[in-house]
Amino acid sequence: MREKTLYSVQSVNDPLLDLIRLLRPRAALFGGGLNAAGDWGVSFRMRNDLLFCWIESGACLLLRPNCAPLCIEQGDFLLIRTVTPFTLASDASVEPIDSEAAVAANGDVRLRVGSGGDRRVVLHAGKFTFDTANEDLLAPLLPSLVHLAAGDTSLGRVRALLNLNELEARQPGPASAFVILRLVELILVEILRSKRGLVDEAQTGLLAGLADPVAGRALIAMHRDVAHEWTVAELAKLCGVSRSTFAARFRSIVGAAPIDYLLAWRMALAKDALRRGAMTSSEIAFAIGFKSPSAFSTAFTRAIGCSPKSFVRALQPSL
């Protein structure tokens, strides 16, 4: 029997948990990654994916447009949003081969590039996938690159997970593939929940909001009771600041006005509930704070570009 509930109702004052439940992150390994030696280079196309990789041994350069080359070494871990193309190479002067063309030509998902026995590199890589109904929620959460150097102990829990991941890869046992993927998923969650080095002054969104004592208090309240008829004045009073101060601060940090954010979150919950088929449109309407199914349908159509019924039909496979 399907569970008739919204994820926000289940969490305890935890907007990040709400978000992770909607995104449903899953990791998939790319057949092991890459083996390289000598002079080599592999280019990766722009796809707006979230890739991850870690260096088992050796070192190479990460090259991105308009960015200085970044040396990645044994034990380093990268999260890369492919909003721009990038290249992994032994040297910036090497002409790279296209990764997709190389895989297609060799018929092997594990890339083997370069020649000789010197400067060997073993790299493992994969991709995170997310629930497609709300994948757009991820865009403002992470910078285009997160680099965790092997010697960086500032993110101790992430480093511990990486050490477990490396040990499992080097000494595989029963169900190792499953263990590695779950560890990588936990690494992503730890990176998302870390406030150190991942939320800069220019970044806006949920993570930035949660790091702020004023915006964070309002976010927790809205997520705790998404159906409540929140007003800016009520939220400002809850946060202990004036209405104008609260509205300006919330917008500058979160990137949206408080009530606009609440509406967007309600629509995200609605899309998830519609995709799961656990609740009717009427049940969803009342659960997220609308006084009638028609009011919900109107708001959903305005925000998403189609009616709830059309949204559900689009999710169904064509016959």
pLDDT band at 215 (very low <50, low <70, confident <90, very high): very high
Domains for the chain: give ranges and CATH numbers. 26-129+144-193 (2.60.120), 204-315 (1.10.10.60)
**Average pLDDT of the residues in 133-142:** 77
Angle between helices 232-239 and 243-254 (to 10 degrees): 90
**8-state DSSP, 137:** G
Helix, strand or coil for residue 95?
A: coil
Is the pLDDT at 316 greater than 70? The verdict is yes
Query: What digits encode the pLDDT tens for the residues 238-248?
Result: 999 999 999 99
Query: What digits encode the pLDDT tens for the residues 252-290?
Result: 999 999 999 999 999 999 999 999 888 999 999 999 999
Dihedral (Cα; 79, 180, 33, 138), 10-degree rounding: -30
Q: What's the pTM value of the predicted model, to 2 decimals?
A: 0.76
Query: What digits encode the pLDDT tens for the residues 9-62?
Result: 445 568 888 888 888 888 877 765 889 999 999 999 988 788 888 898 999 999
Q: CA–CA separation, 266 vs 263, rounded Å?
A: 5
Q: CA–CA separation, 147 vs 139, rounded Å?
A: 18
